[in-house]
Amino acid sequence: MLICAASNNAGKLKELRRILERMGHQVKSLRELGIDLDPEETGTTFAENARIKAEAFCKASGLPTVADDSGLCVDALNGAPGVYSARYAGHHGDDAANNAKLLQEMQQVPAEQRTARFVSAVCFLMPDGRELLVEGECPGTVAFGETGTNGFGYDPLFVPDRVGLPDGTTVENTARRSYAELADGEKDAISHRGRAMEKLDAQLPAFLAQS
């Protein structure tokens, strides 16, 4: 199936394309489709924002569209930055500023209280208006400093509880590596976005058969 991957975030687009192509789909980015839109994310939940983006880009592309809204929810900060993860420091997509603010906010929080989870809501929308919404989570902790370069957003600060293995299983992250220190396969097997896309893959055949 030819799918529009609805993201202006280069890192997120890379992950969506990698996972969707592994599922057997052909993926077109917004740039490849000549679409220049930036819909306002006015939702109060990840699911609402994913739906807003899916609707805007599905209408613009005329293609089945996958949109994701995701973020980091930190227990010690009562779930912040949450849906405001991309603009936590005030400017949308400023990873360095967002990470710096998170470290500052967490400065006095001890290791045992730095639990957090990444959350991803994925909306698959057909041009006829039918939608499939799934969510995935990855539990972990917020580190005291950034490590790794194979990631984006809060990846250098987030230490997942588990990591993936080549056979698809997972093991405890005893080395305490951050998202940004993991290879693509190690991350996809346990990531919030990877888990949401697994649910999408499992539910998509029945969803499409309803047409």
Distance spanning both ends of the chain, measured CA to CA: 15
13 closest CA partner among 67, 55, 64:
67
Residue 68 in this model has a pLDDT that exceeds 90 = yes
If one counts the domains in the chain, the total is 1
Q: Residue 32 corresponds to which tokens in the numbers above? A: 């490849």
Other CB atoms within 10 A of residue 34 CB: 9
Query: pLDDT over 90 for what percent of the chain?
Result: 80
Q: Strand, helix or coil at 173?
A: coil
Q: Is 75 a catalytic residue?
A: no
Look-up of token digits 């990444």: 118
pLDDT score, position 96: 96
Q: Using an 8 Å Cβ cutoff, are 60 and 6 in contact?
A: no
Q: In what order do the strands lie in the sheet with 115-125?
A: 26-29, 2-6, 65-74, 115-125, 131-142, 158-160
Q: Determine what percent of the chain is predicted with pLDDT higher than 70.
A: 100
Confidence of residue 10 (pLDDT cuts 50, 70, 90): confident
Give the pairing type, strands 158-160 and 2-6.
unpaired
pLDDT confidence band for 211 (50 / 70 / 90): low
Q: Which domain holds residue 94?
A: 2-209
Mean pLDDT score, 87-110: 95
Instruction: Choose, from 68, 69, 95, 155, the residue flagged as catalytic.
Output: 69
Q: Using 50, 70 and 90 to split pLDDT, how confident is the model at 175?
A: very high
12-64 residue pLDDT tens: 888 888 889 988 999 999 999 999 998 988 999 999 999 999 999 999 999 99
For strand 65-74 and strand 115-125, is the pairing parallel, antiparallel, or unpaired?
A: antiparallel
What pLDDT, on the 0 to 100 scale, is given for residue 147?
97
pTM listed for this prediction: 0.90
Q: Where are the beta strands (DSSP E) in 30-145?
A: 65-74, 115-125, 131-142
Q: Tell me the angle at which helices 192-209 and 10-22 cross, rounded to the nearest 10 degrees.
A: 50
- CATH number of the domain to which 33 belongs: 3.90.950.10
